Every structure is written in C-alpha cells, then in structure tokens.
Amino acid sequence: MDLLLVSKGFYTVYAVAKSRERCELLDFLEGLGQTLQKDSDRMLALLGRVAIEGPPRNTEISHQIKGKLFEFIQGRLRVLWFYDEGRLIICTSGFVKKGRKTPRSEIEHALQVMNEYFTDKKRGEIRICEEERI
C-alpha cells in the first residue's frame, strides 16, 4: 500500500494511494466541479490545520463513524480517516454526502482500506511518498 503525504505538522496526514500517481482522495478533491470547489478548498485547508493542531473536537467538523473510523466534514464533502500510532492520520477516501446518513458502501470501503493498511503495515509493505501532491 502507498501513502501520499497530504500535510505535516505535529500530526502527519496521509492519503491512501494505489500508486504515487493515483490517489482516490486527492483525485476526488481535485476533480470536483465549480459548485463544490469551495468545499474542496476548505477540506484541504482543514487537513492542513489537522496536521498542525490535531483533529478538531467539534463534532460538526469531525466525528467517529464506526469503531476506529472517523469523518471530516466540510459542506457536503466527507473524508473518512483513522488514526495510527505516532500521530498519524490516514485518510481513506472522500465523497459527496447526498442524504442524512453516511452511505454504508462508503463505510465498508473505508473499513476495508483500514484493514488492508494494518495488514500491510505488519508485513512491512507500506510505501510512503513524502512529497506533497497538493
């Protein structure tokens, strides 16, 4: 599994990637149309603040979804993430929320990515790209 650096400070924020060129989260945020560009910019700014200050305690901006899985919120945009030791925040994916509840498919996908991450970590198969892409 590859991790791409999103932002670094007191915490380090990474996004899960298929390769150095293909990152589901960053591709999603960069590919949003004009109507959601403001929310995308705010989400990237939030991820930068999270690296410096840690995850917000305000449940309207970040809260636990299921087990060790959390979500960042900016407008209609959501980014699912989890902690790892050493003040690491691993972002799995992003999506546009259309209803009241977080779609089960998004939660299941993020949980699968989280499980793959910890499996790959035990095997020593995590590759980190420290070059910020955003």
Kindly list the distances between the CA atom of residue 83 and the CA atoms of 15, 43, 91, in Å, as whole numbers in the listed order. Answer: 12, 18, 9
- pLDDT (0 to 100) of residue 42: 93
User: Which among 93, 99, 44 has a CA at the least distance from the CA of 70?
Assistant: 93
User: Which among 53, 107, 120 has a CA at the least distance from the CA of 81?
Assistant: 107
Domains along the chain with CATH numbers: 2-126 (3.30.2310.20)
pLDDT tens digits, one per residue of 101-117 = 889 999 999 999 999 99
More confident residue, 27 or 121: 121
pLDDT tens digits, one per residue of 56-107 = 989 999 999 999 999 999 999 999 999 999 999 999 999 999 888 889 999 9
Whether the Cβ atoms of residue 61 and residue 100 lie closer than 8 Å to each other: no
| pLDDT-wise least confident of 4-18, 22-36, 70-84, 99-113 | 22-36
What are the residues facing 77 on neighbouring strands?
74, 96
Kindly list the distances between the CA atom of residue 38 and the CA atoms of 29, 44, 75, 134, in Å, as whole numbers in the listed order. Answer: 11, 10, 9, 15
- pLDDT (0 to 100) of residue 23: 87
User: Is 0.85 topped by the overall pTM?
Assistant: yes
